[in-house]
A = this chain, B = another copy of it.
Amino acid sequence: MNILFFLTPKSEVAYIYEDESLRQALEKMEYHKYSSIPMISRTGRYIGTITEGDMLWGIKNKFNLNLKEAEHVPVTAIPRRMDYLPVKIDSRMEDMLDRALNQNFIPVVDDQKNFIGIITRKEIIKYFYQKMSREGTAKEPEISRYMVV
C-alpha cells in the first residue's frame, strides 16, 4: 500500500515561508484555523512545523506576558473555538470514530455526564496499525488515489 493514497497535496495545504514575520504567521494561522502549519523555504524545502502552542509559549516569553493579570481572568472567559464533543460510554464505535475525524481526542462521559476519561487519536491509530500488521493488510495491493489521478 502506497502512502501517497493518503496525501493532501501542497496545492491544498496552508503553509508559511520561513522568512515571514511572526505577525504574518499569526494572521495566516488565525485565518485558516489550523492548529499547526508547515513551514517551507522559498525554494520549496520542508523546514519544520509551527503550532499554535509554539506561538503561545513564544509570545508569552517574547512579549513578557504579565501573568499577574492572567490570575484574575477566569479560564472560562477564553472563547473556545471548537469545543470537543464528548461520547457516552455506550456509544457505537462508528460514532466515536466519526468524532475522531475532527477532534484530537474524544472526551468520554458516563450516564450522569461525568467525565471518565478520553480516547486519543493515537490509541485509535495504534490499534489499527497493530491490527493491520497482524493481518498483513499492508502488503495487499490497493489502488492508490495517487495512481488514479
| A94 CB to nearest chain B CB (Å) | 6
Chain A residues in the interface with B (C-beta under 8 A): 1-10, 12-13, 15-16, 18-26, 30, 35-36, 38-40, 44-60, 62-63, 65-67, 69-84, 86-87, 89, 91-94, 96-98, 100-105, 107-109, 112-129, 132-133, 138
Number of copies: 2
Q: In the complex the two chains form, is B84's CB within 8 Å of A49's CB?
A: yes
Q: In the complex the two chains form, is A57's CB within 8 Å of B81's CB?
A: yes
Q: In the complex the two chains form, is B22's CB within 8 Å of A35's CB?
A: no
Q: Which residues of B contact A89 (CB under 8 A)?
A: 3-4
Q: Which residues of B contact A66 (CB under 8 A)?
A: 63
